[in-house]
Amino acid sequence: MNHSFQLNLKTFLERSTLYFPNKEIVSREPDDSLFRYTYAEFYSRTKRLANVLKKFGIQKGDRIASLAWNTHRHLELYLGGPCYGAVLHTVNLRYGEPEIIYTINHAEDKILFFDEDQLPIVEAIADQLHHIQAYVVLGKDIPQTTLSPIYSYEQLLGLVDDQFSFEMLDEYSPATICYTSATTGLPKGVTYTHRSLYLYTSALMYKDVTAISETDSIMPMVPMFHVNAWGLPYAAIATGAKLVLPGYRPNVHHLLSLIESEEVTLTAAAVTIGVEMVNLLEKHEYKVSSLRGLWLGGQAIPKAIIDKLYYKYDVPVVQGYGATETSPLITFLHVRKDQQQIDENENINLRTRQGTLIPGIEMKIIDETGKEIAWDDQQMGEIHARGPWAADKYLNDERSATSFVDGWWKSGDIATIDKQGSIRIVDRNKDMIKSGGEWISSVQLENELIAHPDVQEACVVAIPDEKWLERPLACIVLKHPMNETEMEAELMQWLTPKFPKWWLPSQFEFLNEIPKNATGKFNKKLLREMLAKEKREV
């Protein structure tokens, strides 16, 4: 055995250009046109980027930042930066300015690559970025700006050749950094190594996971700044699959149009995007028959959405479980051989689960006493995980001590597990509602509420109660204006047969919009603060 061989992202990059030089990468431009080039051209440009980094004096281990959408230039940073030896920090452009400033400074980034539409943000915070030595706009021209020194990405690539040989780096070398939003305090940095990304990407290709292969057309709708777009760009490059990038500020029209025009076979997005897709498909005809899977994540998927996509549009919804700390996947929904003949209702119920453990990862679900729960799908506990693509600490952050214990990551997610080892996420620990000493799952209430034909979004949070300590409050966004008193009565009637009486919401709030966080999930913390403020002002 060759124990000196290192697991490197460069092997994916070189494989795609060697075996699939003419396969396409498609990237939507700001004017909605589509830019197309090949894996061979992509490889050439990553080598030019490496020469640019060399001219800037970037050393192995130095950190560079991207503030960018899902585009071909961002993809070049994804591979060209880490394969050169730099560490790419993908900045979450949906963060507020304080979080963007903090993460760039905390990572000690030296160059900031950004899309031109992010220029106002970069200009506003530039004097607070302590380590940035150069700004590079990801386009052809340099805009009018106060930033200095500033360069055009295309002009920089035009000044160098593509003669560069990527070396085999130590597999434990850091490759990328993503930050995860903290429940309290500032974001926490998670570092991914070449080894962890290689092993995670390989797991994505398992048939019982996403089964990505050269025959696919892959479109990561999930942002490339969010946990490496769940690994989809790496898996596409590793296999030589066609890769479709939705570009600047994509809306659901853009996404469905690309699925149709590029015959996308697998795509991934936040659950909220999946809900928007269903709402739009009911109004406009888009051909989505090419999809063999729509991977939704970030929060539990409403059963009604899975049902409609599967039986009305013939699009199987797939999901798993994970987090920024786990790259992200540690479980994935797999329909076992002994489950393939189940009836329609059982099929949809199965697809609402987050699946079974992916080979290579270890997991245990711990109750409040510290014991592992029974596989009875009734007892609840917190998920703990460890493995080769799971973090064991945060980047230079004292909060590591409370989140990682003896190599295990403590997720804060509450789940049950059935006799076949399939998990079901019940709630976030902090979002569980404890009423009169008994637990109520906000997720299960939300899933049933959104199944109502007049409900567009539903989010359930705890509110204080003198008698029961906490009671559920349901926040509802309706598809159309309706009488709220009548709608509240109808929703109570809708829920009553499905839950114990003490689970039913004590109050309903009808909103125009439910706030979301930087990853597209419902921001329950902000929602609770808004509701508390409104109560004080009354």
Catalytic residue numbers read: 180, 325, 434, 439
Give the three-state DSSP class for 308.
helix
177 touches 87 (CB < 8 A) = yes
427 touches 392 (CB < 8 A) = no
148 residue type, one letter: S
Buried-state track 351-360, b at ≥16 Cβ within 10 A, e below 16: bbbbbbbbee
- Copy the structure tokens of residue 42: 């992509």
Looking at the DSSP assignment, which residues form a beta bridge with residue 459? 475
Query: What are the residues whose beta carbons fall under 8 Å from the beta carbon of 378, sequence distance 6 or more?
Result: 416
Give the three-state DSSP class for 232.
helix
115 touches 75 (CB < 8 A) = no
Q: What is the rounded distance in angstroms from the CA atom of residue 276 to the CA atom of residue 144? A: 37
- Which class for 59: exposed (0-12), middle (13-18), buried (19 or more C-beta within 10 A)? exposed
How many of the other CB atoms lie within 10 Å of CB of 60? Answer: 13
Q: What is the rounded distance in angstroms from the CA atom of residue 446 to the CA atom of residue 461? A: 10
Q: What is the rounded distance in angstroms from the CA atom of residue 33 to the CA atom of residue 90? A: 25
Query: What are the residues whose beta carbons fall under 8 Å from the beta carbon of 119, sequence distance 6 or more?
Result: 137, 143, 145, 147
67 touches 112 (CB < 8 A) = yes
- Copy the structure tokens of residue 127: 């004097």
Instruction: Report DSSP letters for 205-263, one per residue.
Output: TSTTTT---TT-EEEE-S-TTSGGGGGHHHHHHHHT-EEEE-BSS--HHHHHHHHHHTT
506 touches 472 (CB < 8 A) = yes
CA angle 16–203–17, rounded 5-degree value: 5
Radius of gyration of the chain (CA): 23
DSSP 26: E
Q: What is the rounded distance in angstroms from the CA atom of residue 23 to the CA atom of residue 309? A: 30
Give, in order, the Cα–Cα distances in Å from 269 to each of 276, 317, 455.
11, 11, 21
Strand-strand pairing, 63-67 and 111-114:
parallel
